[in-house]
Amino acid sequence: MAEALYEFSIQDDFPNQKVSQDRLFVDLAGSSIQTALVSVTVIDDDVDVRYMDTLSTEDHQTLNQMVAAHDGEPLVKTPDEVKIYGQEYDASNRVIQRTIGQKTQEPTCSRTTHDYCNRCTWYSDSVRVTDEVMTVDTGLIYKCANDAFIDVINGVINRQDLHQVYAIEVKVSDVVQTSGYTIHHSTGKIEFDSAPGGDVKISYSYPTTSNWRLPVPAGKQLIIEHSEVQFTTDVNVTSPLKFEVWVDNPYYGVSGHPWELIPRIPGETVQYNSIRDIINESNLGFQVPAMLGIGEPLIIFPFNYVGEKVMDSSMNAELVVSCVNDEELPGTYGTATFYLIERTSI
């Protein structure tokens, strides 16, 4: 089964020459179209709609009709949704105001995304394979069914010590080997120092999508106080970067509601289509010189939000950061870091 792409023009195909990406996604996902919807992407005048498989003639006609009827108006959030993604609230639902420079006494932490220049860091949606029998590629090099491994030994994933569940294990004649070979993560191959002398098996995780996921722990809120994007100067944003907060659909299962069959919806979406978008919306980026381990100068783009961004477990909120179409960005290094407060859900 191969994904099917359907392309539209904002100027030519939409009646008001505008598109609400979130609204179009939700409307299409809740329509009578039987094939699963993958994504809706808006770049300049182009609107790309992807499905898991080619649509039937009837479903294709439905898609065209829905595009022709789409008015471009955004999703209307309920008051509860506005509360979740707006200011910080106290137990009486009053907005909590902080003075400039005031520090919280609540638990804090930071979380860093995948490196979007290196798919060997894309662990969130990775798939685990156990004891796959490897075959000879050339000479002492062995290959497996997939062409990349998640890398938790070379420092490319932030705090790799916390991600050893994705570590590679190599066996020869069913005996675990800890040396005598080199792992080529980017090609999914193992190169031995000498002939292994038996069947070679490998357990590993391989990347599938670029989606980095941050779910909110049960009974908690995560408050994003500020964030940063870190790019080396050679990074080119050739694939848009998307930041989304997904939540449970409050109308799921509500008979007669147009969204009754959609379990989850994007509560908030921001898409950066180029480096210009990031520069325009960040707060005074600064440069870090090249250093060991990162051979290029690094530019840090801070995002200091006027109001806190609150994600609540009561709606099963999850932050998802991805490259559209799951394409690696050309360049050395590209991540984002979120600085968070954790508190008990109200």
Over the stretch 18-39, which tens digit does the pLDDT of each residue have?
Answer: 998 888 888 888 888 888 887 8
Residue 100 has what pLDDT?
A: 44
Spatial separation of the C-alpha atoms in residues 292 and 297, rounded to whole Å: 11
Which is nearest to 302 in space by CA: 342, 341, 337? 337
Spatial separation of the C-alpha atoms in residues 138 and 180, rounded to whole Å: 17
Task: Find the DSSP H helices in the chain.
Answer: 10-13, 21-29, 57-69, 79-84, 275-281
249 pLDDT above the threshold of 70: yes
* Most confident among 251-260, 270-279, 281-290 (mean pLDDT): 270-279
Spatial separation of the C-alpha atoms in residues 259 and 75, rounded to whole Å: 12
pLDDT classification of 309: cutoffs 50, 70, 90: confident
Spatial separation of the C-alpha atoms in residues 71 and 65, rounded to whole Å: 12
Residue 94 has what pLDDT?
A: 54
pLDDT in tens, 85-128: 344 555 555 555 554 445 556 788 999 999 999 999 999 999 99
Straight-line distance from the first to the last Cα atom of the chain, in angstroms, rounded to the nearest whole number: 44
304 pLDDT above the threshold of 80: yes
Asked whether the beta carbons of 199 and 312 are under 8 A apart, the reply is no
Quick one: how far is CA 249 from the chain centroid? 20
Structure tokens at 217: 């722990």
Spatial separation of the C-alpha atoms in residues 53 and 2, rounded to whole Å: 6
Spatial separation of the C-alpha atoms in residues 94 and 220, rounded to whole Å: 18
Residue 104 has what pLDDT?
A: 58
* Unique residue bearing structure tokens 């359907």: 6
* Unique residue bearing structure tokens 């477990």: 313
78 pLDDT above the threshold of 70: no
Neighbours of 134 (CB within 10 A): 20
Spatial separation of the C-alpha atoms in residues 106 and 108, rounded to whole Å: 6
pLDDT in tens, 123-179: 999 999 999 999 999 999 999 999 999 999 999 999 999 999 999 999 999 999 999
Asked whether the beta carbons of 239 and 324 are under 8 A apart, the reply is yes
82 pLDDT above the threshold of 60: no
* Unique residue bearing structure tokens 């909590």: 96
Spatial separation of the C-alpha atoms in residues 205 and 208, rounded to whole Å: 10
Task: State the average pLDDT over residues 207-220.
Answer: 95
Structure tokens at 294: 């990162």
Count of CA atoms in the C-beta half-sphere (13 A) of 345: 15
Residue 3 has what pLDDT?
A: 78
